[in-house]
Amino acid sequence: MSDKIKKAGVVGWPINHSKSPLIHGHWIDQFEINGSYEAIALSPEGFTSGIRTLIAQGYQGCNVTIPHKETALKMADTISNQAKAIGAANTLVFKDGKIHADNTDGIGFINNIKQGAPNWLASDGSALVIGAGGAARAIIHALLEDAVPKIIVANRTIEKAAHLAAFFGDKVSAVPMGQIGKMLNETQTLVNTTALGMTGQPELIIDLYNIPKTALVTDIVYNPLKTALLTQAEERGLQTVDGLGMLLHQAVPGFEAWFGARPIVDKALRQIVLAG
Ligand code: ATR
């Protein structure tokens, strides 16, 4: 066994707000791994050469965040199906000088729901996805992989929702935000993928009166942890899952690939990230 330090990190611009060092740092300590995980600021102009430098320095890989997720995909030698479908990478694994690009946002989304609502199945019924940005793309792909029968995408800019529907095929259709109320009675999984409801952003205003009692409501916003959408859903007796777990679960595959141990997402980790 080599006692060489295993290095990874998160690359972005700016990068100081990233929670990833807290998450991976906790797992490195927990497994007593001889490793490091740091935040690395790389400007858009310096991204490609910066990644080459990390490879030369013996890094195992890195997470990539805004604004590098698409560029990372372009410079990869191999690309996972998820990253291909999402059109962006958030996890790079370096091996023998080559770059493998993956996107773990979708699996993070699914595993977060499965942990928070163990009886939930994507195949139970239609999903209503609010938003049509990068996060929505990852979530739609993951729901389809998990055998959801139908997805409706509601977005302020209907063209973007229509574009996603055309990309993902005939299980996915697009509606304007104003149609959400009408769609709720056939919704089993409701997902907010926009920043609406986040501290400092406008609220997401939806009346859930029409949604089945068996539905699950989840939000990718985790600041606040309990958004107005989740509060309303809870008051109606619906199952809810908050967005913090998606951030934590998306980190699992990268950690395992770089450090060779599969971490778990538990309450202690949630507390560390909330406090950090
Ligand atoms: P991400 O990669 O996090 O998904 P994004 O690609 O910028 O971010 O997408 C943001 C999503 O939030 C979009 O669906 C956006 O709607 P538009 O496509 O109409 O821009 C949605 N969004 C952001 N602010 C919004 C607002 N104030 N009202 C409604 N939707 C909003």
* pLDDT tens-digit map of 32-86: 999 999 999 999 999 999 999 999 999 999 999 999 999 999 999 999 999 999 9
CA separation for the pair 138, 47 (Å, rounded):
23
Check pocket membership of 196 for ligand 1, CB cut-off 6 A: yes
CA distance 40 to 12: 7
List, for residues 182-212, the tens digit of each pLDDT value. Answer: 999 999 999 999 999 999 999 999 999 999 9
Distance, CA of 21 to CA of 35 (rounded, Å): 12
Structure confidence at residue 2 (pLDDT) = 54
pTM beyond 0.85: yes
Q: Tens of pLDDT along 119-153? A: 999 999 999 999 999 999 999 999 999 999 999 99
> Above 60 in pLDDT, residue 172?
yes
- The set of catalytic residues is 69
With a 6 A CB cut-off, is 192 part of the ligand 1 pocket? no
Q: Which two tokens stand for residue 87?
A: 């059109």
Q: Is the pLDDT of residue 1 over 60?
A: no
Mutate to test the pocket of ligand 1, among 90, 130, 156 (most ligand atoms within 8 A of CB): 156
If you take atom 26 of ligand 1, which residue's CA is the nearest one? 196
**Ligand 1 centroid from CA 84, angstroms:** 21
Q: What angle do CA 122, 266, 104 make, to 5 degrees?
A: 50
Q: Whose CA is nearest to atom 15 of ligand 1?
A: 131
